[in-house]
Chain A
């Protein structure tokens, strides 16, 4: 067992536990238990605890956390809200930068919703790639799938937007209002992210060990 493989296991376990909505303090505790046991015995973490995905599922089950599929973590309202704020903010800011008057049409609204829905696919695939560790081949395929769908999603959303059409115009606003709205959306997204991260920080419970991830 190398320090590198232990670090890799630690990172993958942390990710898998996060995806199962295990609280930060509990994640810190589990990571410290694994590290402590492996350091004491010299055993490889996979041999002692199983793959990160399997162990995270067992921890979540005993802890009574979400337990089920990590897919739920992607689909929870907080994640979708952050993604929606980011998309709307970026869309408004881009439009305001290129035109003096920003119009919101049915097509652009449908396009944003479609892009938000389509981005769930690469997120789910990326999660499978990170938590399904039974075979490197499977991980690579899930990773490639995530990358491909991430690249394709904006094109498909754009095609949907064009198919719906530019009419009717729902709202027209001057550039400065669009910028202000974009700033509100993006700041809201940052605030939401910071609050989530701060409220669920991973802390190493061991005395004398400084840390969080």
Chain B
């Protein structure tokens, strides 16, 4: 799990942008759950929230607090056009990188 958490840190910002691109908007708890459901487990909110706020300050996402129904308010994060552009630019680079890394590992494992 420790190793997986390390891998995830390398791609977390892009993964979050990608999840927000899919849903349009989301809040912290469901983002943690969706990462988990997507096979990227082990993400703690203590890591995710500071990242989301950095993306917010960089203009890649936008955040807004909304009143909860009976419970506490929720902070929603929405993907901005700039965030979409960053995902479009760096997403393929990561995919290429991951593909190359996978190829190296597969060659090593099959030899």
Contacts and interface: CB of A to CB of B under 8 A. Distances in A.
Given A50-B44, A206-B67, A207-B66, A62 B75 contact: no
B54 interface: yes
Nearest to B66: A207
Contact of B73 (A30, A55, A209): A209
Given A48-B46, A62-B50, A62-B51, A36 B57 contact: no
20 contacts: A32-B73, A33-B28, A35-B72, A36-B28, A37-B28, A37-B29, A37-B49, A40-B72, A41-B29, A48-B44, A59-B53, A61-B50, A62-B51, A62-B53, A205-B65, A206-B65, A206-B72, A207-B66, A207-B67, A207-B73
B72 A58 contact: no
Contacts of B49: 30, 33, 37, 49, 59
B71 A40 contact: yes
Q: Which of A55, A58, A61, A62 has the most CB of B within 10 A?
A: A62
B45 interface: yes
A63 interface: yes
A76 B54 CA distance: 26
Interface residues of B, number: 21
A58 B53 CA distance: 11
Interface of B: 28-29, 44-47, 49-51, 53-54, 57, 65-68, 71-75
A12 B57 CA distance: 25
B99 to A, nearest CB: 29
B65 A39 contact: no
Given A55-B46, A206-B65, A207-B66, A63 B54 contact: yes
A62 B46 CA distance: 11
A199 interface: no
B65 A32 contact: yes
Nearest to A60: B50
B50 A206 contact: no
A137 B68 CA distance: 40
A103 to B, nearest CB: 55
B73 A62 contact: no
Interface in A168-213: 205-209
B75 A208 contact: no
Contacts of B67: 206-208
Nearest to B73: A206
Contact of A49 (B46, B68, B72, B75): B46
Given A32-B75, A36-B73, A59-B49, 13 more contacts: A32-B65, A33-B75, A36-B68, A40-B29, A40-B72, A40-B74, A48-B44, A49-B44, A49-B45, A49-B49, A50-B44, A54-B46, A206-B65
B73 A59 contact: no
Given A62-B54, A63-B54, A207-B65, A39 B75 contact: no
